[in-house]
Amino acid sequence: MPGKMKRNYGICFAAVILGFLLLCLLFDTSLLGKKAVYFNGLIVIGMFYTIIVCSLNLLTGYMGEFSLGHAGFMSIGAYLSAIVTTLIKDNMELPSLVLFLIAILVGGIAAGIVGILVGIPALRLSGDYLCIVTVAVAEIVRVVLSNFGIPAITGSATFGKSFAGIAKVSDFHYVYFTMVICIFIMYCYIRSGYGRALISIREDRIAAAASGINVTKTKVLTFTISAFFAGVAGAIYAHYITTLVPTYFNFSKSAEFLAIVILGGSGSMMGSIVVAPILSALPQLISYVVPAFASYRMLIYAVILVAVMIFKPTGLFGGREFSLPNFLDRMLGKNKKEKG
Amino acid sequence: MAKFIQSLANGLNLGSIYALTALGYTMVYGIIRMINFAHGDFIMVGGFTLFYMIPVMTKIGLPAWFSVFAAIIVCVFVGVATEQIAYKPVRGQGSTTALITALGMSLVLENGALVLFGSAPRNVPPMFDLPLLKFGEITIPPQTVLTLAIGIVAMILLTLFVRYTKLGKAMRAVPEDKIASTLVGINVNRIITITFAIGSGLAAVASMMYTTSYVSIKNELGITLGLKAFVAAVLGGIGSVPGAMAGGLLLGIIEIMVKVYMLPGTYEAVTYLILILVLLIRPSGLMGKAVSEKV
């Protein structure tokens, strides 16, 4: 029913705008006072986590394969976008929006290219072995970044093992819409023919291949898209935090992303969208109040992760999607008529 | 030439630590087809046990290396507890659940150690008072001989155990066919627990070898060591006991050679590159059996 679809899109669009206005109200006015800068940062971190966790969920939930190397793709996006924007920044004046768009595109494309290069040979493997290969790729990226300093190309930024002085253009207004667009694209991808082919591969690879689906192509495409969005998240991170250190993108970071995907429910975009900002911002908020909490953070995640695996392996949302229009219908009691 | 032999000795030293760790991976993988990510962290646990037990041992007048028995007890306890609490409930729920659980347990141990012992590196006091072996210009650290000897003895014992004892036979039977082994009277759960106990005991021995060679330990030690030992296990052919040994020694030698003769900072990248190449070209490793996929 196109009419209903139009209405549903309308509701989602309205919700997105409403969310944006709410954030603007919080941060662009002096409602929060001096703490606004701090909370602003938390929101940006929450949003880039959401993008990378959703991109990982694309692999974990819909392709049924694990990547423990997403921090590697993220670091590629972060470093390359930072190099490009630093070069541009020194040579010409550009509005920050343009610089931001260039950054996320460069970051995404760079990570995507690496995704293709890794995906074509590696996706012949599956399960544990593929997972280990992604770890290996991320570790190689990290070792390379921490050993070969980027040569000093420009005057304004200090290059080398750590990379400082990146333009701070990840403003939450831009990041918010980037996040919405990224999620929208991923959502469309899952709903498309490719996405359905992907889910059929997850369910039964051999049956999918027998019914004419090009398994390798679909897998590589998904892997590339996932890497692309990881790169976008990396670019956002780089242009928010402004100083990159290779050790940030280590194995633990990848494990953290995977943990968030699993906790939210692999195969549920909504699970990632809800859980990622909470799990990235909440620990920081708590350690803001109780400083000792910082060292307990990963322990608590890990215990929850194991407990979820034992008691509810499907995660919080368990592969279900939450639909705002249907939720509204149910709240207003309209759903019964539609079903009949 | 002297430099080469020196590096070879260092490589064997590092390699035998990898080998002993890889043995633990291979044992567990061989029996339940699961990458036990937490295995590297068992070594970290063993290292901290040694750190706290060595002063106690010297105080009560026993030789310091007796603390390795304490480490074995603690590691076996942690290993079996991990298996019973976390892995047993998820057994039979598919390999992905097992993988995530193993990763989760690794994070639990690593961050538990962070909470308990802090993030500062600790220096484990020396356990052995051995003289340096000198051959002309070449100085072979005594622990090299020791670690290599312990590694080879462990491998031979393990091979004999798996091949000739009744328990070993049961261990080989379980991965072949779980239901059939239950039918012939093998207690599968018990076999898996015993495998974990042996693997964790080996981890304690590996932690002794690690601390005598590298002294400094910290809570993050398990991740890198575990990953590299896994590379060694894959290189040798996962599931094969001699393969793990060979893979470990080979990897140790390669790492040291790259460190000495090529770019020193890149040896880790080389290790992971080897892993990728092995998995892509010959996934069954040097000594493993190729398993074809059942349709």
Please compute, for residue A98, the number of CA atoms within 13 A of its CA located in the half-sphere on the CB side. Answer: 6
Q: Which of residues 253-282 of A touch B (CB under 8 A)?
A: 255, 258-259, 262
Whether residue A242 contacts residue A170, with contact meaning beta carbons closer than 8 Å, is answered with: no
Q: Which residues of B119-142 are buried (b: 16+ CB within 10 A; e: fewer)?
A: eeebebeebeeeeeeeeeeeebbe
Residue in A133, A139, A296 nearest the CB of B279: A133
Closest among A39, A50, A49, A43 to A288, alpha carbons compared:
A39
Rounded to whole angstroms, how far apart are CA atoms A136 and A68? 9
Q: Which of B39, B88, B111 would best serve as a mutation to test chain A binding (most A beta carbons within 10 A)?
A: B111
Q: A141 vs A76, A114, A184, B83, B269, CA distance in Å?
A: 8, 10, 29, 33, 8
Residue A340's pLDDT is what?
35
Residue B35's pLDDT is what?
83
Inter-chain contact A139–B268, Cβ cutoff 8 Å? yes
Instruction: Provide, as residue numbers in chain B, all residues whose Cβ is less than 8 Å from the Cβ of A313.
Output: 90, 93, 97
Rounded to whole angstroms, how far apart are CA atoms A98 and A86? 13
Inter-chain contact A310–B86, Cβ cutoff 8 Å? yes
User: pLDDT means per 10 residues in chain B (295 residues)?
Assistant: 82 88 86 85 92 86 83 93 90 81 90 86 79 73 81 87 89 86 90 91 89 83 86 84 88 89 79 86 73 52
Contact status of A120 with chain B (Cβ, < 8 Å): no
Element (H, E) at A6: helix A2-27
Residue in A139, A255, A313 nearest the CB of B103: A255
| pTM of the complete model | 0.87
Residue A32's pLDDT is what?
66
Element (H, E) at A296: helix A293-311
Instruction: Give start and end residues of each alpha helix (H) in chain B.
Output: 2-32, 39-59, 67-82, 88-90, 95-117, 142-164, 166-176, 178-183, 188-214, 221-236, 241-261, 267-281
Instruction: Tell me the β-bridge partners of B135.
Output: B138
Residue A320's pLDDT is what?
66
Positive/negative CA dihedral, A171, A172, A176, A177: negative
- pLDDT-above-70 percentage for chain A: 90
Instruction: Determine the distance in angstroms separating the CA of B129 from the nearest CA of chain A, rounded to an integer.
Output: 36
Residue of B nearest to A258 (CA): B100
Record: fold of A2-339? ABC transporter involved in vitamin B12 uptake, BtuC (1.10.3470)
Residue in B100, B112, B223 nearest the CB of A309: B100
ipTM given for this complex: 0.83
Phi-psi map region of A178: left, alpha, beta (phi>0 left; psi -120 to 50 alpha): alpha
Inter-chain contact B115–A128, Cβ cutoff 8 Å? no
Q: At what angle do helices A70-91 and A127-147 cross, to 10 degrees?
A: 30
Rounded to whole angstroms, how far apart are CA atoms B244 and A278? 42
Residue A266's pLDDT is what?
81
Q: DSSP letters of A117-156?
A: HHHHHHTTS-HHHHHHHHHHHHHHHHHHHHHSPPP---SS
Residue of B nearest to A305 (CA): B104
Q: Where are the domains of chain A?
A: 2-339
pLDDT surpasses 60 at A201: yes
Inter-chain contact B279–A306, Cβ cutoff 8 Å? no
